[in-house]
Amino acid sequence: MDEFSVLKIGIIDYSVGNLKSVAKVIEKLGVKPELIRGEFNPERFDGLILPGVGSCGSAMSFLETTGLSKLLDEYVNVIKKPILGICLGFQIMCEYSEEDNRECLGWIKGSVRHFRSCISTNMKVPHMGWNDVKYDSDFRLLKGLRESPCFYFAHSYILPFDINVNGMVGITEYHIPFVSIYENENIFGVQFHPEKSYVGGEIVFRNFLQEVKNAKS
């Protein structure tokens, strides 16, 4: 696992994320991540992770009051280093979320909506359990996985599928299709939880670290 030991990986700690389980997988792959709770130097880190449990309002309020939102925007749009958003972390990369009626970071075009805002049937929410990801493009995060791999999901909000989204997307269906994986240059997002998805999830993290390594070299 020494291939990634030189990487400096930061995990954004907005006090609502699944930090320990994400950090554990990253450590297993040979990297000791650093938790970021306040202002940081974007140049110090080779890759960042936005973890994925909690509410949009709490996460965005924390990022804004600590000044992290501006630093993250510099990291993503000016320095253009790799970042991975997981579940909530992916959702706050979008322009807006119905959850808490909040404007978000705005890196991904589109609005996050509740399942029941998108469909009238009496569906069970949250969507929890294993489901597959369908895709046509060559996703860097999915390299080495079988076609239509399965991952673990736990969420009530989605980015509805839209062919006009500004990046490559993979789709999962739970009554309606929604974006479950996103890639655009240095921005990576997944609606599922790779840290809860066993071997498949570990491969996703490994592929992200490989992209970080490639960007660093």
- The residues annotated with a catalytic role in the active site are 87, 193, 195
Q: What is the dihedral of CA 76, 16, 88, 86, to 10 degrees?
A: 70
Euclidean distance between CA atoms 59 and 37, whole angstroms = 12
Instruction: Give the chain as a 3 state SS string.
Output: CHHHCCCCEEEECCCCCCHHHHHHHHHHCCCCCEEECCCCCHHHCCEEEECCCCCHHHHHHHHHHCCHHHHHHHHHHHHCCCEEEECHHHHCCEEEECHHHEECCCCEEEEEEEHHHHCCCCCCCCEEEEEECECCCCCHHHCCCCCCCEEEEEECEECECCCCCCCEEEEEEECEEEEEEEEECCEEEECCCHHHCHHHHHHHHHHHHHHHHHHHC
Helical packing angle, 19-28 and 198-216, nearest 10°: 70
